[in-house]
Chains A and B, each alone.
Chain A
Amino acid sequence: MTGRFSARAAAVADVAARYADEVDRDERPPVEAVMAMKEQRLLSLSVPTEYGGEGASMRELSEIATTVGAADANAGMVFAMHHSQALPLWRHGSRAGVRSTIAKVVSEEWLLGSATTERGIGGDARRSSCALEYPSPGRVRLVKDAPVVSYGEVADAILVTGRLNADAPSSDQRMLICAKGDYTLEKTAVWHGLGLRGTASDSFIITAETAEDMLLDDPYGTISAHTALPAAHLLWASVWLGIASSAADEARSTVRRQARATVGYPPPGQLRLAELMVGLQTLADSVRHSAERFDEAGLDASVLGSISFALAMNSVKISSANALVDLVLQALRIVGIAGYRTDTPQSLSRQLRDALAAQIQISNDRLLTNDAPLSLLAKVEL
């Protein structure tokens, strides 16, 4: 990574790497890496300069997510999810409460979480059963039974979706910023995953009451399609690229060790490594190109709302989630028994378990189901 944020991203990655195994073993949030992100001001950098941020592009965020994700996927995912929430604030909000939240992100490096799925609905973030209530003029109240609020107890604010009001259909959603102090969390289940064990994706009932100007302007359907979903897909994929590259590094180091023992007679793993690098390069090109596509779209609603854009943003998620698992398995075959063991410095246990989340935790099948009708309407933009 060579961009203007590379030194700061590397500093965070150093910290994240140091605690990665402990975070995984103890199933706890990567708090040291989050502190480092705050110190390095990585949480405010997607905020435009006119609001006091650094105006980082998606391409730049993508590179940082990869660097941090290679060190610890949990920390990478926190970075990814935070910016998927930070971007909608200025792209889809204009009221005073939203503006003051942006100011908090800039001045205090607030970490933003989200609660978009709901018990009883399944994993579909585009429907809600809970509804906003308006107890008094200018005030809004929301109670949500959320099966997943990643790093909910570490966040400084949580963006929560609900129906516009008690009469609204399930898809007519709005997004409310619940800042710390304005909500309570009642934990209903604890996250014990095979991988990504440090995202602390616990379940909570969120009870919030706050000012009405903490609502974003646009319906959540627009926020999701134009910003939150593409950003999440692109930044998750960027983290996955990091996982794949860290597994590939281990494979490369193994082959180099073998090659040193028989200089001039390449070990068989060298061919497998060359093959792995092709897959990794393809993944990197796809992720970065897709990030640039998001940047090129700018704030043009006709592009962001197009079917081809939606398909492209789903495509990068699905293809990179699939590629990731294959790449880590290829690396594992090269590293061999030292990678399979869980007590070696070469162990790929964490990378493999984290990689498996990519296809499962955010279901490829749900995205394909969403894509299916669209694929009859639009051709792939070449």
Chain B
Amino acid sequence: MTDHADGDLAAIREALEKFGRLNRPLPEIADDDDLFAAGFTSHATVNVMLAIEDALAIEFPDELLNRTTFASITALANAAAQSRGSR
């Protein structure tokens, strides 16, 4: 999956902006950059997950709730696409 809905990417960036507590400004972070290298923590992933779920009306299934899912904006967009229809 490489074609992500622009809406998904925008919602993910907005969630990261609000709740990601990253140590670099979000516009400087590319879709494939390692978020954990940018200061993302497991505690912060929770709120980011909830915000994305709320914005996109999806629910990440249990098997996607791991570090890989939160590793990059692309990974989050893949997970969001995979989660469609699971709620």
Contacts and interface: CB of A to CB of B under 8 A. Distances in A.
Physical interaction between A and B: yes
Interface of A: 253, 256, 259-261, 263-264
B54 A261 contact: yes
Interface stretch (B4-12, B45-53, B72-80): B45-53
11 contacts: A253-B59, A256-B50, A256-B53, A259-B50, A260-B51, A261-B54, A263-B47, A263-B54, A264-B18, A264-B19, A264-B47
Given A253-B59, A260-B50, A264-B47, 14 more contacts: A256-B50, A256-B53, A256-B59, A259-B46, A259-B50, A260-B51, A260-B53, A260-B54, A261-B54, A263-B19, A263-B47, A263-B50, A263-B54, A264-B19
Interface residues of B, number: 9
A196 B18 CA distance: 47
A261 B50 CA distance: 8
A253 B59 CA distance: 9
Interface string B1-36: 000000000000000001100000000000000000
A263 B50 CA distance: 7
A259 B47 CA distance: 8
Contacts of A260: 50-51, 53-54
Nearest to A252: B62
B58 to A, nearest CB: 10
Contacts of A253: 59
Nearest to B57: A260
A321 to B, nearest CB: 27
A16 to B, nearest CB: 18
B86 to A, nearest CB: 11
Contacts of A264: 18-19, 47
A260 B87 CA distance: 13
A263 B59 contact: no
A259 B54 CA distance: 9
User: Can you list the 8 inter-chain pairs with the closest CB atoms, starting with the nearest?
Assistant: A260-B54, A260-B50, A263-B50, A263-B51, A259-B50, A263-B47, A260-B53, A264-B47
Nearest to B60: A256
Contacts of A261: 54
Contacts of B47: 263-264
B5 to A, nearest CB: 20
Contacts of B46: 259
A280 to B, nearest CB: 14
